[in-house]
Structure 1
Amino acid sequence: MNQVLIALGSNVEKEKNVPAALALLRAQPAMAICAISPLYETTPIGGDGSPSGQPAFHNGALLVETALSPAALRDLLRQMEALLGRTRGADKFAARPIDLDIAMVRQLATDAIGAQMSDTADQENVQVDPDILRFIHLSVPLADVAPDWIVPQTGETLRHVAERHRLQNCEKDSQIPRKIRESI
């Protein structure tokens, strides 16, 4: 069994696409949603980290449990994106109707008959999207649903990564996510 943090974002018809994506995720028999972050409005950024001039994003995060492998889950998320009109192109920072990305995967230890032994993961059993360490629009919602998860690259909790991003961006008010709804 895997615990997975999924980052969700939209800046094209976001009032329609975010709830539609959440409905698709909830309807999946292969996963159980354990936690959902508040929804944040964030400034879109380009590859260099500067504002891009696109419409604002709505960003959030979910903690799910699934028996799907990370590759199978990624394929499922891509299918959901396609259903909602997303086409992936060369520009990683283009506007998009929906973005569903695996941010972190934690494999839970199980005993011989498959019972969960521990809800803590060994560091080597954690897979991380390195963008968590770069972008506040990822770290803040992820910290809402899994504040004590540790990012192996730095040894920091997601809570600490999000706080560090808030402090680094305190003079750039437009970069700090603004909570717009308590739940997606």
Structure 2
Amino acid sequence: MAHAVLALGANMGDPALQIAQAIEAIAGHKQISLLKQSTLIVSEPWGKTDQDRFHNGAVLIETTLAPLELLDFCLATEAAIGRVRIEKWGPRLIDIDIIVYDELVIDSQRLTLPHPHAHERDFVLDPLREIAPDMADWLMIQTDNKSA
């Protein structure tokens, strides 16, 4: 079983509801066990700043899904909730990102782990530190090693 952290965010519709729906789908998957859930925080947008504030949180999971299978599940869950990808970093009904997957490092066209921008975003780091401080520490070490 692998341990992973998924970051969740939304700033359209009813963000808290959409995040709850995503967490329900995650917890309901037969190959995923929900271990911990962070509190939700509200943050300013990142990247594209002329939009509503975001609600953000994270979950720690245990899974038998391989990283790309987990990615496909996250994308399918976003689509089921109604997300349509229009612009990078733009408004969204739901966003589910894989932040870390064990201590796996991947750099492919479909998936980069750890998440390449997580270390720059307090709205990712704060929930991550709340539910998985060891993974947050590992993420920061990986980031420091890339910039050295």
Question: Structure 1 length normalisation: TM-score?
Answer: 0.68
Once superposed, what is the RMSD of the aligned Cα atoms? 1.5
When Rg is computed on C-alpha atoms for both structures, the one with the higher figure is: 1
Q: Which residue pairs with 1:137 in the alignment?
A: 123
How do 1:36-47 residues align onto structure 2 when only pairs under 5 Å count? 36-46=37-47
Q: Does 2:114 align with 1:128?
A: yes
Of 20-29 and 76-85, deviating more is 20-29
Task: Supply the AA of the counterpart residue of 2:11.
Answer: N
State which of 72, 93, 97 in structure 2 corresponds to 1:97. Answer: 93
Give 1:76's aligned amino acid: F
Q: 1:38 to 1:71 in 2, by over 3 A?
A: same
Structure 2 equivalent of residue 2 of structure 1 = 2
Structure having the larger proportion of residues in helix: 2
| Structure 2: stretches of 5+ with no match in the other structure | 106-112
Residue correspondences, number: 133
Q: Which residue of 2 aligns with 1:164?
A: none
Q: Which residue of 2 aligns with 1:61?
A: 58
Tell me: CA distance 1:16–1:153, structure 2 relative to 1, closer, same or farther (3 Å).
closer
Cα distance in structure 1, aligned partners of 2:130 and 2:27? 19
In 2, the alpha carbon distance for the partners of 1:88 and 1:3 equals: 27
Task: Tell me the SS of whatever aligns to 1:63.
Answer: strand
1:103 shift after superposition: 0.4
Kindly provide the amino acid, as one letter, of the partner of residue 6 in structure 2: I
Identity over aligned pairs, percent? 31
Conserved 8 A contact 2:44-2:53: yes
TM-score (norm 2): 0.83
Q: Moved runs in structure 1, 4+ residues, more than 4 A?
A: none
